[in-house]
């Protein structure tokens, strides 16, 4: 995969993330006071997809640029951490330490989502992730664009 192909794949993932953001905004606008179990499950699914799409971007960067995709039981957090640090004199950080800390919360939620039943989801424990999604997306978009400008040649 060349860098132009990487840029195109990142662009496609960012479009998908934008669509997820719109879905979340539309869903949150529909919720009156307390969300129904269907709305809770929908919001959780959007959050799952949101982080999964971000992770796909990071995997592509790790494979093409770093030539080092973490493996083993903790590979998800190791990959996220790898993106927040310079890598072996090859590239600078992809994301800031602040965005890393925020994305860790989405990674934790995605892990939870995959390992519990949907009826066990508690709105009060993840609604903040839903409302912050748009701002996290803005940060991600800015940081990915900055990274591509520096590493796109």
For residue 128, give both structure tokens.
């903040």
What's the rounded mean pLDDT across residues 14-36?
Answer: 96
List, for residues 86-114, the tens digit of each pLDDT value.
998 889 999 999 999 999 999 999 999 99
- What residues does each domain of the chain span? 3-151
Asked whether residue 27 carries a pLDDT value surpassing 90, the answer given is yes
Place of tokens 């912050």: 132
Contact 6, 59 (CB under 8 A): no
Asked whether residue 45 carries a pLDDT value surpassing 70, the answer given is yes
- Give the pTM: 0.93
Query: Cβ contacts of residue 60 below 8 Å, gap of 6+?
Result: 1, 6, 9, 10
At residue 88, the pLDDT reads: 87
Element (H, E) at 38: helix 37-61
Range 3-151 classified under CATH 1.20.120? yes
Contact 103, 80 (CB under 8 A): yes
Place of tokens 């800390």: 101
At residue 1, the pLDDT reads: 53
E-only strand ranges, the chain: none
At residue 153, the pLDDT reads: 54
Cα–Cα distance, 23 to 149 (Å, whole number) = 29
> Given pLDDT bands bounded at 50, 70 and 90, which one contains residue 152?
low
Closest CA to 44 of 149, 120, 142: 120
Asked whether residue 83 carries a pLDDT value surpassing 90, the answer given is yes
At residue 77, the pLDDT reads: 97
């Amino acid at each position: 995969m060349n860098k132009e192909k990487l840029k195109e794949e990142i662009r496609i993932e960012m479009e998908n993330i934008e669509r997820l953001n719109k879905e979340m905004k539309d869903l949150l606008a529909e919720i009156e006071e307390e969300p129904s179990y269907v709305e809770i499950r929908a919001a959780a699914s959007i959050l799952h997809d949101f982080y999964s799409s971000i992770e796909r971007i990071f995997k592509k960067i790790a494979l093409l640029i770093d030539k080092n995709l973490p493996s083993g039981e903790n590979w998800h957090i190791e990959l996220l951490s790898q993106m927040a640090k310079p890598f072996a004199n090859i590239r600078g950080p992809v994301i800031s330490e602040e965005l890393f800390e925020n994305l860790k919360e989405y990674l934790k939620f995605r892990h939870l989502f995959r390992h519990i039943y949907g009826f066990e989801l508690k709105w009060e424990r993840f609604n903040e992730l839903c409302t912050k999604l748009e701002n996290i997306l803005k940060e991600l978009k800015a940081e990915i664009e900055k990274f591509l400008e520096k590493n796109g040649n």
